[in-house]
Amino acid sequence: MLLSEYADIQSLALFTVVFILCWRLLRGEKHNSFSRLPPGPKGYPVVGNLLSLSLHSERDMSDWNKTYGPVCRMKFATMEFVILGSLEAVNEAFVKKSDVFSDRLQDSMPGFTGGTGILFLNYGNLLKEQRRFGLSTLKLFGMGKKSLEPIILDLCTDLCDTLETYCNSNEFVDVSFPIYERVAAVISQLVCNKNLPKEDVDFRQWLHRITTGSKYSAFSAITVFYPSLKVIPPFSWGQQASQEHEQEGFQLIKKQIEKHRISRDPKEPRDLIDCFLQEMDVRSEQSQKFSEQLGFRDDQLNGLIRDLFLAGSETSSSALCWAILFLCKHPKYQSKLHEEIDEELHQRPPKYSDDLNFAKACIQETLRMRPVGPIGIPHVANKDATIMGYDIKKGSCVAPNLFRILNDENLWPQPEKFDPTRHLDQNGNFVKHPSYIPFSIGPRQCLGMQLANMEIYLFLVSMIQRFSFELESGEDIDMRGQNIFTLRPYPFRVRIRRR
């Protein structure tokens, strides 16, 4: 055989192999004879599956989990992204194999730079230490305890007094920011021992910008998967706005830390900042080598407070807005909730220990239908591993599809129907469903889950006890909500009537 003919055959064989590999990749076949990679949807060159995502990506990914199974693989440029659409898959990855699937993308989320805080730290000693400190300190000042109830109830009263002023006008109003402001005040009391949203105008305005977002937020979200776009307009505009907002928040937090340094009594800590500064003092007395391995530094305190405010405020306030919206859409359930509250509480303020079964059912149904984090914060595999028999490469993003799990028609008949009664047994008692995991599971489960549950319950019952809410007749609201990192309702206005 001539050398040139051999070269032609070799080239043809190489081309055939490359073609088959590309063809299989683009088809997103369920079966891959070359590996055990998870199946997934067909992607496009360079961009991968980005163009297949709509503004309601949680629904797109839910459809992919239905089609390809509970372990579904996607590509975003060079990023491997695996979405887990069943409780079994999430449990295997984040509980049974948490030592492998608990890292985070670094410096990827706009507005969350640097290896500080809690949300975006990699899994290791620093994160474990900071979570232990955060949990123990928040519990010290009342999280999950009756001692925090008076603080929350005072803020509930303050919120209701504000809503009362809207009753006189008989107009339709947006209640989202008054709710967000009071919820943020709860974490402010635990962290700073003061109501920052009320006492500091600059801080209040910063919170308001969180709720309204930026017109470039959608572009910012895309840069999570395509970091190279951060320097290209219009993506760079969103990145710049997020960074400016982050730095503004850091300056506001830094001001509070410096005030605490001046006024604190080491023997009488008032809040989380005092406890952190006290721990810094203790560590500074130890060897320098030991101190460098731990996270009790100024930048870590700043990042920790940022994460507590953003995550702690967003979850509860969004859930409360969703609950009000669903109850407006289903007035028969709002009336039933009124009846339960009147019968059980009469006119006294609610307690977290109250046995209000229907109120608990309404809250669980709200968070089931519209989990605040529909696609949980992505985890990152720190080495090659498997999930349900599929190969997951080191560095792959792995995220729980909480929206899919909480809207799985096999677990929840007619999942798009708002029906609190599905959470009650035949005797009318509240039942927690085993697949109800709106705060995810495992060692990276939401740190403030206990606080969020108490806040949502006390604020919602307090509002429904004093008022009835109704939407403007004929107002058409897209109930899918807007998913920009968290799932919020589209802006809506209600008329508030005094009961």
Q: What is the rounded end-to-end Cα distance, in angstroms, of the chain?
A: 95
Angle at 130 between CA 367 and CA 306, to 5 degrees: 60
Model pLDDT, residue 291: 46
Of 107-116, 274-283, 444-453, 486-495, minimum mean pLDDT range: 107-116
For residues 197 and 181, is the Cβ–Cβ distance under 8 A?
yes
Cβ-proximal residues to 37 (8 Å cutoff; 6+ apart), any chain? 73, 390, 391
The answer to whether residue 30 scores a pLDDT higher than 60 is no
Model pLDDT, residue 403: 97
The answer to whether residue 22 scores a pLDDT higher than 80 is no
Model pLDDT, residue 13: 43
CA–CA separation, 417 and 311 (whole Å): 28
The whole-chain average pLDDT of the chain stands at 88
For residues 58 and 403, is the Cβ–Cβ distance under 8 A?
yes
157 CB-side CA count, 13 A = 9
Nearest Cα to Cα of residue 108 among 248, 239, 249, 298: 239
Model pLDDT, residue 21: 46
pLDDT tens-place string over residues 7-21: 444 444 444 444 444
Model pLDDT, residue 214: 61
CA–CA separation, 368 and 101 (whole Å): 24
pLDDT tens-place string over residues 144-203: 888 899 999 999 999 999 999 999 888 999 999 999 999 999 999 999 999 999 999 999
Q: What is the mean pLDDT of residues 480-492?
A: 89
pTM of the model: 0.89
Nearest Cα to Cα of residue 460 among 165, 160, 30: 160
Nearest Cα to Cα of residue 172 among 10, 341, 328: 328
For residues 297 and 130, is the Cβ–Cβ distance under 8 A?
no
Residue 494: strand pairing partners: 173, 471
Q: Using 50, 70 and 90 to split pLDDT, how confident is the model at 302?
A: very high
Q: Using 50, 70 and 90 to split pLDDT, how confident is the model at 486?
A: confident
The answer to whether residue 6 scores a pLDDT higher than 90 is no
Q: Is the peptide bond before 234 cis (omega within 30 degrees of 0)?
A: yes
Strands 397-400 and 79-84: parallel
Neighbours of 6 (CB within 10 A): 10
Encoded tokens for 324 = 């009000």
- Backbone phi, psi, residue 69, to 5°: 110, 175
Encoded tokens for 175 = 């209640």
CA–CA separation, 340 and 334 (whole Å): 10
Distance of CA 177 to the CA centre of its chain: 18
pLDDT tens-place string over residues 319-371: 999 999 999 999 999 999 999 999 999 889 999 999 999 999 999 999 999 99
The answer to whether residue 28 scores a pLDDT higher than 70 is no
Of 132-146, 261-275, 418-432, minimum mean pLDDT range: 132-146
Of 29-43, 80-94, 241-255, minimum mean pLDDT range: 29-43
Nearest Cα to Cα of residue 114 among 306, 316, 334, 384: 306
Of 5-19, 53-67, 303-317, 446-460, minimum mean pLDDT range: 5-19
pLDDT tens-place string over residues 173-189: 999 999 999 999 999 99
CATH architecture for the domain at 35-498: Orthogonal Bundle (1.10)
Q: Is 490 left (phi over 0), alpha (psi -120 to 50) or beta?
A: beta
Nearest Cα to Cα of residue 181 among 165, 213, 158: 158
pLDDT tens-place string over residues 220-273: 667 776 677 777 787 777 778 778 888 899 999 999 999 999 999 999 999 999
Model pLDDT, residue 371: 96
For residues 361 and 420, is the Cβ–Cβ distance under 8 A?
yes
Domain ranges of the chain: 35-498
